Amino acid sequence: METQVSPNERGYYGSFGGAFIPEMMQANIAELQEKYEEIMNAPEFRAEFEQLLKDYVGRPTPLYKATRLSKKYNSNIYLKREDLNHTGAHKINNSLGQIILAKKLGKKKIIAETGAGQHGVATATACALMGIECVVFMGELDVDRQAPNVGRMKMLGAEVIPVSSGSKTLKDATNEAMRYWIANPFDTHYIIGSVVGPHPYPDMVAKFQSVISKEIKKQLKEETGSELPDRVIACVGGGSNATGAFYHFLEDEEVELVAAEAAGKGLDSGFTAAATFKGVSGILHGSKTLFMQTEDGQVEEPHSISAGLDYPGIGPALAHWFESGRVKYEAVTDDHAMKAGMELCKLEGIIPAVESAHALAALDNLDLKPDEIIVVNLSGRGDKDLKTYLDQLES
């Protein structure tokens, strides 16, 4: 099967994607589908986006050769430092891109869903920067678990609405945001935080995050003389940092692309979030993709120690790259990720997000050849995870 980088005109990557939405959301989605490419390709848009990425976010992020980590694996490991972005993760790349787009569409209000609060904080930040009203939907359970990020969003001027339906987590917050959008279709733009949702969101978010692999190519060329590594590794929740890190390598067949999914307590434990290992095809949050389901097709509750990977599915492009074999998937347990995260602290003086620690742990699963060149996308910093790390240290 041929690997698609972009969706076809109906929003499909192979057999995944599309736009499965209620009639009431049709007008909003149609407007986006019609206009997103033209707006994003316009020179004024590019200029504003690139300026903000440089001066506000701090891009390009460094490509750092992790010497002591490389020695351990007898290879050359480079870390793409998305953890050094303003607000601490890759999410800001997408939030800024979408808010500029929302302004061009004449929208007056932004809504977003958030799980751990990283996307909520990035979006609240972008809204403060632009002086636009911001409403963030967050499951009640997550509001309790992620109190510091709730505080940050409030300080940034966002309204945080706790969602008490269902399991009171990310998927319920997503449902609530969609409901709100249906009720307020004209003045509001919905900033989805990953490469999920109805077409054109997966493609739009992929393009905003693709700056990651664009920079990696340039930086690797300067560093090694070749823009191609042997492998690129990234963790997958919905798939936006992985898509950003893979994007410009998808057509370079000699580069192996590795996605680390959260196995949680183990693939067969009933407490997992590994969508390609445990998922089947179905419709989730507006697109056809792979996600974990109960026997009667309901969404199965995911589990991962990292809130950012605690999502039952993956974006449609990632499902397609799994189907086509272009991306290799590895499953990493909670314990394995925690160990790899702690190890990076000691070896390199970098505290990674627990999500990113899954990508680091995947190094153990691979059959590395000596001296190969590997890029690991360090999607975020671990400040938000201190409690999780400290609990582990004490246990």
Ligand X SMILES: *Cc1c(COP(=O)(O)O)cnc(C)c1O
Contact residues toward ligand X (CB under 6 A) are 89, 91, 118, 194, 235-242, 308-309, 353, 355-356, 379-380
The reply to whether 113 belongs to the active site is yes
Say if residue 200 is preceded by a cis peptide, omega within 30 of 0. Answer: yes
User: Based on CB atoms, which residue is closest to ligand X, 14 or 352?
Assistant: 352
Smallest distance from ligand X to CB 149, Å: 10
C-alpha–C-alpha distance, residues 126 and 68, integer Å? 36
SS3 337: helix
Q: How many residues does the chain have?
A: 395
SS3 18: coil
User: Based on CB atoms, which residue is closest to ligand X, 76 or 172?
Assistant: 172
Give me the catalytic one of 75, 82, 113, 171: 113
Give me the catalytic one of 70, 75, 82, 91: 91
User: Based on CB atoms, which residue is closest to ligand X, 76 or 260?
Assistant: 260
CA angle 313, 319, 323 (to 5 degrees): 140
CA angle 201, 203, 209 (to 5 degrees): 100
Smallest distance from ligand X to CB 195, Å: 6
C-alpha–C-alpha distance, residues 358 and 331, integer Å? 9
Give the max Cα distance, the chain.
57
User: Based on CB atoms, which residue is closest to ligand X, 52 or 236?
Assistant: 236
CA angle 274, 330, 265 (to 5 degrees): 45
Smallest distance from ligand X to CB 317, Å: 11
User: Based on CB atoms, which residue is closest to ligand X, 104 or 145?
Assistant: 145
Residue 372 makes CB contacts below 8 A (sequence gap 6+) with 75, 76, 229, 230, 231
Smallest distance from ligand X to CB 371, Å: 28
CA angle 354, 357, 359 (to 5 degrees): 130
Smallest distance from ligand X to CB 108, Å: 27
- The residue among 394, 304, 309, 390 whose CA lies nearest residue 345 is 390
Strand runs labelled E in 171-319: 188-191, 231-236, 256-264, 280-284, 287-291
Smallest distance from ligand X to CB 73, Å: 22
> Residues of 276-301 as b/e, b for ≥16 C-beta within 10 angstroms?
bbbbeeeebbbbbbbbbbeeeeebbb
User: Based on CB atoms, which residue is closest to ligand X, 127 or 314?
Assistant: 314
Give me the catalytic one of 176, 240, 379, 384: 379
Smallest distance from ligand X to CB 18, Å: 19
User: Based on CB atoms, which residue is closest to ligand X, 211 or 242?
Assistant: 242
**In which element (H, E) is residue 341 found?**
helix 334-348
User: Based on CB atoms, which residue is closest to ligand X, 125 or 356?
Assistant: 356
The reply to whether 133 belongs to the active site is no
The reply to whether 278 belongs to the active site is no
C-alpha–C-alpha distance, residues 365 and 121, integer Å? 33
DSSP alpha helix (H) spans, 21-146: 26-41, 43-52, 67-73, 91-104, 118-130, 140-145
Smallest distance from ligand X to CB 139, Å: 15
Residues annotated catalytic, as ranges: 91, 113, 379
